[in-house]
Amino acid sequence: MNVKPDPASLKIERQVVGKGYAHDSARRHVRGEAIYIDDMPDLPGTLHVAPILSPVAHGKLAGVDTSNCAAAPGVVRVLTVDDIPGKNEAAPILHGEPIFADGLVEHQGQIIGAVVAQSLAEAIQAADLVKLDIEELEAVFDVETAFAANSHTHPTQHLVDGDAASAIADAQHRISGQLQMGGQDHFYLEGMVAYALPGEDREMLVWSSTQHPSEVQVHVALALGIKSHEVDVQVRRMGGAFGGKESQATIVAAIAALAANATGKPCRFRLRRDADMAATGKRHGFVMNYDLGLQANGRITGMKVEALANSGHVADLSGPVVTRTLTHLDNCYHIPAADFLGFAAKTNTVSNTAFRGFGGPQGIVATEAMIDIAARQLGLDPNEVRRVNYYGSETGEVTPYGQDVDDNRILDVVDRVMQNAEWDRRRKEIDAFNAENTILKKGLAMMPVKFGISFNLTALNQAGSLVHVYQDGSVHLNHGGTEMGQGLYTKVAQVVAEVFGLPLDDIKITPTTTGKVPNTSATAASSGSDLNGAAAFNAASAIKGRMAAFAAQEFGCDEADLVFANGQVAAGGQSMAFGELAHKCWFARISLSANGFYATPEIHWDGANLRGRPFFYYTYGAAVAEVVIDLLTGENRCLRADMVQDCGKPLNPTIDLGQIEGAFVQGMGWLTCEELWWDPSGKLRTVGPSTYKIPGSRDVPPEFNVEILDDKPNVHETVFRSKAIGEPPLMLAISVWLALRDAVSSLSGGKLAANLDAPATPERVLFAVEDMQRQVSELETK
């Protein structure tokens, strides 16, 4: 179902949509008054749950002795796989992804069971008393080892367009190599948590910190051996998620529900930070093997990439993550011949999962590295190489997977950011600085982003909503989207307020619940506003249509002459308050309630051949970053960042600016300071802020300039012609990583490419500096 323009609303200036309203919970956030699941007061009899985690990375689980644990103070029940009345299954797509380990453990930190006790402290202490009989097996931690053994969690994917091998072999220039990039922990402020309340018969109410209430509903029902209509899942807000609560929140919710079912008491299960980081998935780390053919002017003739993802021990969402990696290896560049292989390597680490960008950032990093390396090998400016390869009439406007780039705004954002960043002047100043300084070196880089919007799986591109208008004209709004701090609730409320011509305060935002809007998709893929905003638009428009028909009779006018604005309904010099009209409609027995539905049009995808139109539209952005590095320590800092982001016609530019800034800093963390480190036994050692460094306030660029591309409504029919914003700006942070490479390359006068993987920690920067100095020395001796 397509969103259609509302003729009445087009007669007046937008009243609510497009305005910079604050996040609906902003005041409560800063005052500490926003209620998260762990802030909910304990109901009488509430019990607390702690996990029993595997201490080894791979082994046969021969036995679980819970006798000492069960006798510990406060312990009410100990749960293992034998206590699951239904199915021991938590897989979002495939099968064989257990809630509790059953006969086999496959990573350190895997959940084997759970302790239910009177207090959280007692549950945690008792969990340490469980004796595990595990016969250790050989573990695999390296994706290349898994690739060589063809050990994967998801079938290998192969995107082929043209004859890349011949195009590369016949090219004037050829580069090949390997790039490695690490994963990233979500480090949401609110950890994983669920609160389960048993009801009558076998009913279960679950408050879950999840991006996907319907998936939690399905898996809780499976675990309990009941049907979905007996489970209600609710969430008002999450304290961050970033993809980490899309699929993996289901295990936490299922365990809370199992505990509540077993004890008949309300049960709260929240993971401590160290357990959360040990037991839950991350952004996929990748190894990229590449082979690229180019003409002398930098024009790409063919590209071949092996994208090897660290899936972890089970598939989770690795299949679609790898798909999005393959469909973003082109970024903004036309690739005449492409051969992209995607491999989800099975390793004995935690199962990796969705993370903001969902595989797209990894693909774009690889291509931007290739551009940088190729440009320096050819003696060209990297930006010149980018420009000769941009999608356009002179190169081509069809992606390797067969989708037309029919909304191209690459040059719009690139030219604008180059102007805003004063590129030419600063490039000369930085070159002069580097010539004069022997300890500090600066780098400057620009890069563009093209990011596809929609779930790769077509079926997920749907949403529902429920809207009620009460007799006083106030409005109740519910939809399938979840609020994790990104402002979705505010934006969707603005859409409904705009339809009815009401102030935003007249729209009541209510918790997402499977009992009101069923069969929802995850709030993910940057599609929350597109899908839920459109569904709410349709519901509100249906009610408005009924009210308009009645008002036209009252006023003796045509419906097309009615204007809903400022809380009034008017036509031809007559008017009445919206609340008065609502009461009159009720008295006339006109329904003031409607459910809305929206399904994204035009998209289709052949998952076997990786062909089709998986994305409804693209968003575009570009960034310029300036950094400085210390050659003696590898320490570095981003000094300035300039960004231009295509948001279509924003629903709320203030919230969008916050999303751009936050995404950029999070992306910068992934590429510079956030390093996941496992010891040789497979134990994750970076399990808290003391060992895992996320960006702090001092890591934010001191000069941070963000601009939303002006007056560029979406050419595709989205709600009020807006565009998605959640994920795309994260990839703009790749400019920081490229600027670090540029700073290292300055040691060779910019002629040699830096050997720098990601994250570019001070250690890696220092190693890259030493490698560059060695290369320069070797060239000088020749």
Per-residue pLDDT band for 408 (boundaries 50, 70, 90) equals very high
Q: Distance of CA 743 to CAs 378, 424, 638, 755, Å? A: 18, 17, 11, 12
Read off the pLDDT of each residue in 640-656 and give the average, rounded to a whole number.
Answer: 98
Residue of 48, 164, 108 lying closest to 351 (CA atoms): 108
Q: Can you give the pLDDT at residue 14?
A: 86
Q: What is the pLDDT of residues 523-572, one digit of tens each?
A: 999 999 999 999 999 999 999 999 999 999 999 999 999 999 999 999 98
Q: How far is CA 777 from the centre of its chain?
A: 43
193-198 and 204-208 as β-strands: parallel, antiparallel, unpaired?
Answer: antiparallel
Read off the pLDDT of each residue in 270-299 and give the average, rounded to a whole number.
Answer: 98
- Let me know if residue 532 belongs to a domain: yes
- Let me know if residue 527 belongs to a domain: yes
Read off the pLDDT of each residue in 138-160 and give the average, rounded to a whole number.
Answer: 98
Domain that holds residue 477: 8-34+462-599
Q: Can you give the pLDDT at residue 482?
A: 98
Read off the pLDDT of each residue in 463-484 and give the average, rounded to a whole number.
Answer: 98
- Let me know if residue 399 belongs to a domain: no
- Please give the torsion angle defined by the CA atoms of residues 317, 322, 324 and 328, in that order, rounded to the nearest 10 degrees: 160
The 3-state DSSP class for residue 678 equals strand
**φ, ψ of residue 525 in degrees (nearest 5):** 60, 25
The two structure tokens encoding residue 547: 């009210």
- Count up the domains in the chain and report the number: 1
| Cα distance between residue 441 and residue 636, in whole Å | 10
- Please give the torsion angle defined by the CA atoms of residues 559, 563, 564 and 569, in that order, rounded to the nearest 10 degrees: -80
Calculate ∠ Cα 647-653-657, nearest 5°. 85
Classify the phi-psi angles of 376: left when phi > 0, otherwise alpha if psi is within -120 to 50, otherwise beta. Answer: alpha
Q: In CATH, what number is assigned to the domain containing residue 522?
A: 3.30.365.10
What amino acid is encoded at 125 in this protein? Q
Read off the pLDDT of each residue in 82-93 and give the average, rounded to a whole number.
Answer: 97
- Please give the torsion angle defined by the CA atoms of residues 466, 218, 607 and 149, in that order, rounded to the nearest 10 degrees: 150
The two structure tokens encoding residue 433: 């600085």
- Let me know if residue 489 belongs to a domain: yes
The two structure tokens encoding residue 139: 């573990």
Q: Which helix (H) or strand (E) holds 75?
A: strand 75-79
Per-residue pLDDT band for 8 (boundaries 50, 70, 90) equals very low
- Let me know if residue 521 belongs to a domain: yes
- Let me know if residue 556 belongs to a domain: yes
Q: Does 727 qualify as catalytic in the annotation? A: yes
Q: Which helix (H) or strand (E) holds 233?
A: strand 231-235
513 beta partners: 234
What amino acid is encoded at 278 in this protein? A
The 3-state DSSP class for residue 69 equals helix
Q: Check: CB of residue 750 under 8 Å from CB of residue 376.
A: yes
Q: What is the pLDDT of residues 654-698, one digit of tens each?
A: 999 999 999 999 999 999 999 999 999 999 999 999 999 999 999
- pTM of the full predicted structure? 0.97
Q: Check: CB of residue 317 under 8 Å from CB of residue 139.
A: no
Per-residue pLDDT band for 4 (boundaries 50, 70, 90) equals low
In this structure, the number of other CB atoms found within 10 A of the CB of residue 415 comes to: 12
- Let me know if residue 16 belongs to a domain: yes
Rg (CA), the chain: 27
Q: Check: CB of residue 180 under 8 Å from CB of residue 9.
A: no
pLDDT of 6 above 60: no
Distant-in-sequence, close-in-space partners of 396: CB < 8 Å, separation ≥ 6 = 334, 336
Q: Check: CB of residue 250 under 8 Å from CB of residue 223.
A: no
| Cα distance between residue 274 and residue 51, in whole Å | 12
Q: Which helix (H) or strand (E) holds 462?
A: strand 462-469
604 beta partners: 613
| Cα distance between residue 456 and residue 464, in whole Å | 19
The 3-state DSSP class for residue 587 equals helix
Q: Can you give the pLDDT at residue 9?
A: 38
Lateral strand order in the sheet of 231-235: 75-79, 111-117, 47-53, 267-270, 193-198, 204-208, 231-235, 512-513
Determine which one of 429, 559, 727, 778 is catalytic: 727
Q: What is the pLDDT of residues 182-228, one digit of tens each?
A: 999 999 999 999 999 999 999 999 999 999 999 999 999 999 999 99
Read off the pLDDT of each residue in 734-761 and give the average, rounded to a whole number.
Answer: 98
62 CB burial (10 A radius; 0-12, 13-18, 19+): exposed
Read off the pLDDT of each residue in 326-344 and give the average, rounded to a whole number.
Answer: 98
Distant-in-sequence, close-in-space partners of 417: CB < 8 Å, separation ≥ 6 = 446, 622, 623, 624, 642, 643, 644, 707
Q: Check: CB of residue 535 under 8 Å from CB of residue 479.
A: yes
478 CB burial (10 A radius; 0-12, 13-18, 19+): buried
Distant-in-sequence, close-in-space partners of 643: CB < 8 Å, separation ≥ 6 = 417, 621, 622, 623, 624, 660, 664, 705, 706, 707, 729, 732
Calculate ∠ Cα 91-94-97, nearest 5°. 40
Read off the pLDDT of each residue in 697-717 and give the average, rounded to a whole number.
Answer: 96
Q: Can you give the pLDDT at residue 11?
A: 40
- Let me know if residue 500 belongs to a domain: yes
Q: 734-745 vs 762-781: helix axis angle to the nearest 10? A: 30
Read off the pLDDT of each residue in 96-113 and give the average, rounded to a whole number.
Answer: 98
Q: Check: CB of residue 242 under 8 Å from CB of residue 666.
A: yes
Q: 528-555 vs 578-587: helix axis angle to the nearest 10? A: 70
Average pLDDT over all residues of the chain:
97
Q: What is the pLDDT of residues 241-251, one digit of tens each?
A: 999 999 999 99
Which residues in 543-577 are b (16+ Cβ under 10 Å) and which e? bbebbbebbbeebebebeebebbebbbbbeeebbe
Q: Can you give the pLDDT at residue 723?
A: 98
